[in-house]
A = this chain, B = another copy of it.
Amino acid sequence: MAASDNLLVKGCRNCQQQSTCFNILIPEELDFISQHKEQIIFQKGENICKQGAFANYVMYVAEGLVKTYLETANEKTINLRIVKDSEFVGFSSLCGTKNYNYSAVSLTRSIVCLLDNESFKQLLMKNGQFSVEIMRLYCRNEEHIYKKLKSIGYKYMLGRLADTLLYLCNPGFDAYDIFKYINRKDIADFSCISKESTIKLLTDLSLNNMIKLNGPRIEILDKPGIQNLSIKG
């Protein structure tokens, strides 16, 4: 159960938004994390971490939706993923360089736990099973990025947009009204194509009855068709 306004969940033991990897921890270990975390409310549009800033925390999204993205030198944005509650942000800096590799912005009002890096590492050293679970998250994220690299590296616009639609419309997001929080430029930035091209292709797909446009919302009508576009690139 999420906290009501200004009333935060007190301790990790009682948190009902626990990531499954926390299940491995014994209560004392959860208490240890509690003592080394800060729980903060971020409003929609606020950054919860900034690329290049010192990375002192791993962030755990207790409630809300967060978008992670890369900022490029020529002022472009590459959207990486939408993080939902019970998921982490900022692992890539846990044992790496001292700076965040990407930025994250809150798409809704969000409750985020900032977990101190040093304490978190101590826990990882103590609990091998827990650290292997965290590695699982690294591996999943790496898979995700490779998929994105393949898409952006060598697919034409339509294939990339198909990938983005399949991602944004996947069942994992069913409980959220994702499109309420992202605009056409956001969608474009998942695919590294321009906003205008994105809108043109969305219109084409709509005219071909492969998707349905309803204001900001997008519904896939012909999933095999979209999957085929994704494959063909």
A138 partner residues in chain B, CB cutoff 8 A: 95, 135, 138-139, 142
Query: Which of chain B's residues have a CB closer than 8 A to the CB of A94?
Result: 135, 139
**Complex contacts, A140 vs chain B, CB 8 Å:** 96
Closest Cβ of chain B to A163, distance in Å, is 11
Q: Does the CB pair B131–A74 fall under 8 Å?
A: no
Is the pair B76, A146 in contact by a Cβ cutoff of 8 Å?
A: no
Interface digits, A93-135 against B, CB 8 Å rule (1 contact, 0 not)?
1111100011000000000000000000100111111011011
Say yes or no: is A12 at the interface (Cβ < 8 Å to chain B).
no
- A67-107: CB near B (< 8 Å → 1, else 0) gives 00010111010100000000000011111110001100000
CB pair A78–B154 under 8 Å, yes or no, is: yes
- A153 contacts partner chain B, Cβ-Cβ < 8 Å: yes
B134 lies within 8 A of A145 (CB): no
> Closest Cβ of chain B: how far from A154's Cβ, in Å?
4
CB of A158 within 8 A of chain B?
no
Q: Is A149 an interface residue (CB 8 A)?
A: yes
* Interface SS of chain A: helix
CB of A222 within 8 A of chain B? no
Task: Tell yes or no: A223 within 8 A of B by CB.
Answer: no
Residue in B76, B127, B233 whose CB lies within 8 Å of A153: B76
**Nearest CB on B from A94, distance (A):** 6
Determine how close the nearest CB of chain B comes to the CB of A11; give it in whole angstroms: 24
Q: Does A232 contact B (CB under 8 A)?
A: yes
Does any Cβ of B come within 8 Å of A8's Cβ? no
With contacts A97-B143, A101-B142, A140-B96 taken as known, whether A72 is within 8 angstroms of B148 at the C-beta atoms is: no
Please tell me if A49 contacts chain B, counting CB pairs below 8 Å. Answer: no
Give A133's nearest chain B residue, CB to CB. B95
Apart from the given pairs A97-B143, A138-B142, 6 other A-B contacts in the complex at a CB distance below 8 Å: A72-B154, A74-B232, A95-B138, A95-B139, A145-B149, A152-B153
Provide a sorted-by-A list of 13 A–B residue pairs whose CB atoms are within 8 angstroms. A70-B146, A72-B150, A78-B149, A78-B154, A93-B139, A94-B139, A121-B132, A126-B128, A128-B128, A138-B142, A149-B149, A149-B152, A152-B152
